[in-house]
């Protein structure tokens, strides 16, 4: 109504007038961004141009003004301490403050949760606590008291895992009670999210230098302005206004985040300023790390492989653990996943796809000094060309598949269509699937060829990984700090892709034989409104808590799983 329109006018005037304030704290960098926005005919540029004067000295860009993180020594292993009920009560009282109500149920819950923070008694058997507590008990402070008390006394890290972003934000706020000093809280409490949540500075640089056009360029410039003052670069649930990406569309937003597999780590000119790397290093030194179930499971698997187990874990919203584990430990051999693997190994097919680079480009300096590594990289490049590339879906659907993987996907598509015909909804354009049973001979034959092709990729990958792992011990003169970081990044990437190839190979071996009672397998043709966009073979654990127990629980020393509805 008229009152809303009047408010909007007053709000706009107030916002514009803030730029007139000589003490405006965000003045640095404003003029340069405004010039770029004016060139894009941003409607607000003329009004701001009258208020923001050109600075006397040239402004630094966001890429040079962001603070750089520093390498720190790894945190020592936590001390073995016994956390007493009295210590938990003392910590809980300090967090509640003077005059707070002493709730018997909350204290009993906190004492029970403290069992997860006692010294472990046997290998591969953590102190496991399942604690159901209804709404109103005071669960959050009930486990924060022993968690923060143990972290402070043992000088260790506790990972606090949730399923929803809302609880992550609540946890972040509640930790102020444990660390009332804001400076101490910034150091002791870190919120970790998946890489796709953070602004990628290299993608941002590509965007502001011409990679984005028109409205997308306006969004990129506004994102650059935000990044200079952002707390952590989190574009999803962080301090980026939630309404801003909605004005410019999902494509503009996703183009600035770290999409799957494209990070070049130490090869990036912004590596030392990277929001993702800063969060990773901050979490290694923090007392409490807040994350979601999927990220904790992925990091636990990576930590176990690298000999750095996560020793103390709290899973709130524990009733979602089954679903999170089901998604995390599933295997998917699909066209899109195979394209991702190809692009990681070979790089994108055209230079216009940003600065994403293949393995040879990322390790070119190392290959120039190490003949064995260079030979392995060349073998990988030759073998990886059998993976699907641009236009794979059109070729598969059109009967002109190229290579063993596309041939397999074409055979899978044929079986899905054959088995789905006549079922309700087949003609409605929805996705189709069929169980892996009575597999067609064409699928079995194609699976054998695909498995052999994947083995030809996996063998040189294993050789390259072994060669890279030996480099730091040999310590050649040419291997500087940046080279070591690139080697470490490549080793981690090769390990992850080798695990993927091994899982795919196991899935293909099943197609010609008996079903594995531990898994549920199916073929799928993914469609939207009748338009096909992916084809794949899927495998999920019948009980995903089995890999969860092996990967997450066994290496841990103490685990608390809690919820208001564990038994529902």
Average pLDDT over residues 105-129: 96
Average pLDDT over residues 484-498: 85
- C-alpha span between 319 and 324 (Å, rounded): 10
Q: What pLDDT score was predicted for residue 2? A: 59
pLDDT at 353 over 60: no
Q: What pLDDT score was predicted for residue 493? A: 86
Mean pLDDT check: name the lowest of 181-190, 356-365, 511-520: 356-365
- C-alpha span between 142 and 110 (Å, rounded): 4
The torsion angles phi and psi of 258, rounded to 5 degrees, stand at -85, 95
Name the pLDDT band for 549 (thresholds 50, 70, 90).
very high
* Token pair of 160 as six digits: 């606090």
Q: What is the mean pLDDT of the chain?
A: 90
Q: Maximum distance among all alpha carbons in the chain?
A: 77
- Give CATH 3.40.50.300 domain extents, the chain: 85-195+277-329+555-563
Sheet (strand 331-334) strand order = 331-334, 531-541, 519-528, 432-435
- C-alpha span between 359 and 212 (Å, rounded): 26
Task: Tell me which of 121 and 309 has the higher pLDDT.
Answer: 121
Which range in 241-245, 454-458, 564-568 is most confidently predicted, on average pLDDT?
454-458
The torsion angles phi and psi of 29, rounded to 5 degrees, stand at 90, -10
pLDDT at 267 over 90: no
- C-alpha span between 397 and 382 (Å, rounded): 26
Q: What pLDDT score was predicted for residue 261? A: 60
Q: What pLDDT score was predicted for residue 356? A: 59
pLDDT at 211 over 80: no
Q: What pLDDT score was predicted for residue 568? A: 63
Q: What pLDDT score was predicted for residue 361? A: 85
pLDDT in tens, 381-415: 999 999 999 999 999 999 999 999 999 999 999 99
Q: Quick one: DSSP state of residue 516?
A: P
| CATH T-level fold of 85-195+277-329+555-563 | Rossmann fold (3.40.50)
Name the pLDDT band for 20 (thresholds 50, 70, 90).
confident
Q: What pLDDT score was predicted for residue 426? A: 64
Mean pLDDT check: name the lowest of 73-77, 140-144, 412-416, 437-441: 73-77
Q: Which residues contact 97 (CB under 8 A, 6 or more apart)?
A: 177
Average pLDDT over residues 535-558: 96
pLDDT at 44 over 60: yes
User: Does residue 115 sit in helix, strand or coil?
Assistant: helix
pLDDT at 539 over 90: yes
For every residue of 477-496, which 3-state class applies, written as one string? Answer: CCCCHHHHHHHHHHHHHHHH
Q: How far is CA 276 from the centre of its chain?
A: 9
- C-alpha span between 436 and 510 (Å, rounded): 9
Q: What pLDDT score was predicted for residue 293? A: 97
pLDDT at 204 over 80: yes
CA angle 550, 279, 211 (to 5 degrees): 110
Q: What pLDDT score was predicted for residue 424? A: 62
- C-alpha span between 398 and 323 (Å, rounded): 36
Average pLDDT over residues 57-64: 90
Q: What pLDDT score was predicted for residue 140? A: 95
Strand segments, DSSP code E, in 252-354 are 288-292, 312-315, 331-334
pLDDT in tens, 246-260: 888 877 788 898 876
């Amino acid at each position: 109504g008229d009152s809303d329109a009047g408010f909007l006018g007053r709000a706009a005037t107030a916002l514009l007038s803030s730029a007139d304030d000589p003490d405006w704290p965000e003045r640095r960098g404003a003029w340069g961004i405004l010039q770029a926005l004016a060139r894009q005919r941003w409607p607000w540029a003329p009004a701001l141009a009258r208020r923001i004067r050109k600075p006397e000295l040239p402004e630094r860009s966001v890429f040079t003004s962001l603070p750089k993180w520093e390498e720190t020594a790894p945190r020592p292993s936590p001390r073995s301490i016994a956390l007493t009920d009295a210590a938990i009560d003392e910590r809980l009282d300090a967090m509640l403050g003077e005059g707070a109500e002493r709730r018997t149920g909350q204290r009993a819950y906190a004492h029970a949760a403290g069992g997860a923070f006692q010294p472990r008694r046997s290998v591969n058997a953590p102190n496991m606590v399942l604690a159901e507590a209804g709404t109103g008990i005071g669960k959050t402070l009930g486990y924060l008291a022993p968690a923060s008390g143990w972290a402070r006394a043992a000088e260790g890290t506790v990972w606090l895992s949730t399923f929803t972003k809302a609880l992550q934000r609540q946890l972040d706020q509640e930790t102020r009670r444990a660390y009332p000093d804001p400076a101490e809280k910034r150091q002791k409490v870190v919120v970790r999210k998946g890489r796709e949540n953070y602004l990628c500075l290299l993608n941002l640089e590509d965007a502001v230098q011409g990679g984005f056009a028109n409205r997308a360029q306006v969004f990129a410039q506004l994102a650059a302005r935000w990044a200079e003052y952002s707390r952590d670069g989190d574009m999803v649930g962080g301090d980026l206004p939630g309404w801003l990406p909605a004005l410019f569309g999902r494509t503009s937003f996703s183009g600035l985040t770290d999409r799957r597999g494209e990070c070049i780590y130490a090869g990036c000119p912004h590596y030392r300023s990277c929001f993702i790397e800063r969060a990773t290093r901050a979490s290694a030194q923090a007392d409490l790390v807040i994350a979601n179930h999927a990220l904790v499971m992925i990091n636990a698997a990576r930590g176990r492989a690298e000999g750095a187990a996560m020793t103390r874990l709290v899973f709130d919203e524990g009733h979602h653990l089954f679903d999170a584990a089901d998604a995390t430990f599933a295997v998917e051999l699909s066209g899109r996943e195979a394209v991702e693997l190809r692009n990681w190994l070979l790089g994108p097919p055209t230079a216009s796809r940003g600065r994403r680079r293949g393995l040879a480009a990322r390790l070119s300096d190392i290959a120039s000094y190490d003949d064995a590594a260079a030979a392995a990289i060349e073998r990988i490049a030759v073998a990886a060309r059998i993976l699907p590339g641009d236009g794979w879906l059109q070729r598969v659907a059109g009967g002109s598949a190229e290579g063993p993987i596309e041939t397999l996907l074409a055979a899978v598509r044929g079986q899905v269509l054959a088995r789905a015909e006549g079922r309700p909804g087949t003609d409605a354009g929805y996705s189709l699937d069929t169980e892996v049973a009575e597999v067609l001979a064409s699928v079995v034959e194609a699976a054998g060829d695909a498995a052999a092709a994947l083995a030809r990729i996996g063998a040189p990958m294993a050789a390259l990984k072994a060669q890279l792992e030996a480099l730091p011990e040999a310590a050649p003169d040419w291997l500087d700090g940046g080279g070591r970081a690139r080697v470490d990044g490549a080793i981690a990437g090769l390990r992850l892709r080798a695990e993927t190839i091994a899982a795919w190979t196991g899935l293909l071996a099943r197609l010609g034989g008996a079903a594995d009672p531990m898994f549920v397998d199916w073929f799928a043709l993914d469609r939207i409104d009748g338009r096909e966009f992916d084809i794949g073979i899927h495998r999920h654990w019948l009980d995903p808590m089995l890999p969860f127990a092996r990967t997450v629980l066994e290496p841990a020393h103490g685990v608390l799983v809690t919820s208001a509805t564990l038994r529902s």
